[in-house]
Amino acid sequence: MRTLRLGVASKRTNLLFSSKLYQRHSHTKAYVTTPIYYVNAVPHIGHLYSTVLADTLRRYYILHGKEAILSTGTDEHGLKIQQAAEKNGMEPLDFCNKVSDSFKKLCEAANIQYTSFQRTTSKDHATAVNELWNTLLKNGYIYKGKHEGWYAVSDEAFYASAQVEEVTDEKTGEKIMVSKESGQRVEWTSEENYKFKLSAFEKDLLKWIDDNPKAIVPQNRKNEVLSWIRAGLADLSVSRLRARLNWGIQVPNDPEHTIYVWLDALTNYLTATGYPWKKDAPLKDAFPPDVQVVGKDIVRFHAIFWPAFLMAAGLPLPKQILVHGHWTMNKQKMSKSRGNVADPFEVIDRYGVDPVRFYLVHNGGMADDADYSEAMIAQLYSKELAGQFGNLLSRATGRALLPSRIIPTRKDIDIGDETLHHMLLEVADKYHEAFEERQFGRALSLIVDLLSQVNHNQKKTKISFLTLLKANKYFTRAEPWNLAKKPEEKDKLDTVLWYSLETCRIAGILLQPVMPTKMNELLTGLGVSHEERYFKDAKKLVEKERPLGEMGGVLFPRIKASIKEN
């Protein structure tokens, strides 16, 4: 292949793209990102899951006393957008404005508190992309050449011959070529464009992953990335002819070429921090990201292309790429044609934002896909949230048992309280451990288990860290309604109420990242000040009387809407 080399082909510097690089770029702000979502279609449940997961992580950092920022947004350039706008009889920017607004509305509906909402059509983003392009060019990693290969419009990606296969179109019976990875149709394409020397970074990428075992999680996605790199990386097309694709950012000083969508899109994580940074840029120290949440379909771009771009530009690498699975319905991929899609706005309206957030984080798949079920949302709501959590709070704060409206202190630990006492002291650290391992379902199950009745299936209890006495079971066994009738049993009643409400307090603090609105109501009702709602406060028991705050009614009222069948 004949190529024309552009820029200064400088001698490659041996930057250690590993732990040493991270140490030179430590920061106090925790930076979490979602993917920027492609605006060729309206938001679906998968978009909601990625965004809720990222927002939960942002709030988790805040729970630990850190300042945290979250960036999300929309990817608005590329051939798919150009074609979708034409199909809808709209100008591309007008089309992007409409769909991008629907993603902002989803963030509002899901209580996503983002710091930055990036749009790749913004002027700030174009400035950042131009800066990164010129840096890569100057460093000798961009050149112009001829590119031939299989191109998928739906994926905005080129594929090697080994990555495609021939299949029969179910609708037409036609033999077509598709990507093995995504299943999307590909067409053979040959054109002159600019290329990035991705092949130069195989060893550095492997070293980065080896030096930072948690750089890509879960393990199966990390193994997938390693296999791609070890199989060999081809140089990457980073532009398209403007004659074929004009909806995008022009290559600096070359009006015939448009910057290819992935170099454009991935730069948004830099744009969100004010790149190219000036001395007074407020978010300069937030880069690199602590956690970048992505779906499994875009792991290649985020775990190979993105770190390679950063290496080539001499910029620090993300600390973690967190890859989650997809949502299916009835074990099938969600598809409008199958009619098995879930509208995130409808689901939130039906069950409330916090229960939906809880369900997604509790049941969402990381290493594997998860099967979406509204029946499961309803079950989690009625059995765990309302039946266990809400019920314990309601019973323990009822006027019949707590007419003074003051939470008492425990008087002593007896044989019936000891297990629960130790569970309460241990749960925060175990919750933290599960979160750090990105085992979110396990973390939430610890809280559910703490609140629930004892599990009569002893084999199943081994799955949990917490066994034997649970708070509701403890409350029921103690029969506080009978203790309240006996003045001589006041100390025992006070102890039972104290343990029950300490359970609610600790659970409320730990669940703030997942259910921020409901847990604010709970903690306010328990008279917990905003200064005492951090992780450190969940690690200790509060042994002092405290007046109840304003109770806003039933924490988890009965669902009035009927369950929508999948």
pLDDT in tens, 402-418: 999 999 998 876 656 77
For residue 551, what pLDDT band results from cuts at 50, 70 and 90?
confident
For the stretch 516-539, what's the b/e string if a residue is b when 16 or more beta carbons lie within 10 angstroms of its beta carbon? Answer: bebbbbbbbbbbbeeeebebebbb
For residue 264, what pLDDT band results from cuts at 50, 70 and 90?
very high
Count of all residues that appear for the chain in the document: 566
Place of tokens 């106090």: 28
Predicted local confidence at residue 231, as pLDDT: 95
Predicted local confidence at residue 164, as pLDDT: 87
Task: Express each pLDDT in 134-149 by its tens digit.
Answer: 999 999 999 998 777 7
Q: Is the pLDDT of residue 463 over 60?
A: no
Q: Is the pLDDT of residue 110 over 90?
A: yes
Per cent of the chain over pLDDT 70 is 89
The DSSP line for 511-534 is TTTTSHHHHHHHHHHTT--GGG-S
For residue 461, what pLDDT band results from cuts at 50, 70 and 90?
very low
The DSSP line for 293-353 is EEEGGGHHIIIIIHHHHHHHHT-PPPS-EEEE--EEETTEE--TTTT----HHHHHHHH-H
Q: Is the pLDDT of residue 182 over 70?
A: yes
Predicted local confidence at residue 15, as pLDDT: 42
Predicted local confidence at residue 9, as pLDDT: 39
Predicted local confidence at residue 559, as pLDDT: 83
Task: Express each pLDDT in 202-251 by its tens digit.
Answer: 999 999 999 999 999 999 999 999 999 999 999 999 999 998 889 999 99
Q: Is the pLDDT of residue 178 over 80?
A: yes
Neighbours of 190 (CB within 10 A): 9
In angstroms, the CA 443 to CA 91 distance is 46
In angstroms, the CA 76 to CA 271 distance is 15
Peptide bond into 408 cis (omega under 30): no
Q: Which residues lie below 8 Å from residue 400, measured CB to CB, with a gap of 6+?
A: 481, 484
Q: Is the pLDDT of residue 119 over 70?
A: yes
Of the listed ranges 403-412, 422-431, 465-474, the least confidently predicted one is: 465-474
C-alpha triplet 423, 424, 430: angle, nearest 5°: 70
Residues 256, 240: contact at Cβ < 8 Å? no
Task: Express each pLDDT in 340-355 by its tens digit.
Answer: 788 999 999 999 999 9
For residue 454, what pLDDT band results from cuts at 50, 70 and 90?
very low
Predicted local confidence at residue 2, as pLDDT: 33
CA-nearest of 68, 67, 145, 73 to 104 is: 73
Neighbours of 387 (CB within 10 A): 18
Predicted local confidence at residue 131, as pLDDT: 98
Of 449 and 103, more confident: 103
Distance, CA of 498 to chain centre = 35
Predicted local confidence at residue 565, as pLDDT: 54
In angstroms, the CA 465 to CA 437 distance is 15
* DSSP run (H or E) holding 124: helix 123-138
For residue 181, what pLDDT band results from cuts at 50, 70 and 90?
confident
In angstroms, the CA 533 to CA 512 distance is 9
Q: Is the pLDDT of residue 16 over 50?
A: no
Q: Is the pLDDT of residue 430 over 80?
A: yes
The DSSP line for 363-405 is H--SSS-EE--HHHHHHIIIIIIIIIIIHHHHHHT-TTT-TT-
Strand 68-75 versus strand 30-33 pairing type: parallel
294 beta partners: 323
Domains and CATH numbers, the chain: 29-140+260-333 (3.40.50.620), 142-196 (no CATH), 374-547 (1.10.730.10)
Of the listed ranges 302-306, 315-319, 477-481, 486-490, the least confidently predicted one is: 477-481
Q: What mean pLDDT comes out for the span 507-512?
A: 97
Of the listed ranges 238-247, 277-286, 531-540, the least confidently predicted one is: 277-286
For residue 12, what pLDDT band results from cuts at 50, 70 and 90?
very low
Q: What mean pLDDT comes out for the span 497-501?
A: 92
Of the listed ranges 20-24, 343-347, 435-439, the least confidently predicted one is: 20-24
For residue 35, what pLDDT band results from cuts at 50, 70 and 90?
very high
Predicted local confidence at residue 175, as pLDDT: 87
In angstroms, the CA 332 to CA 373 distance is 12
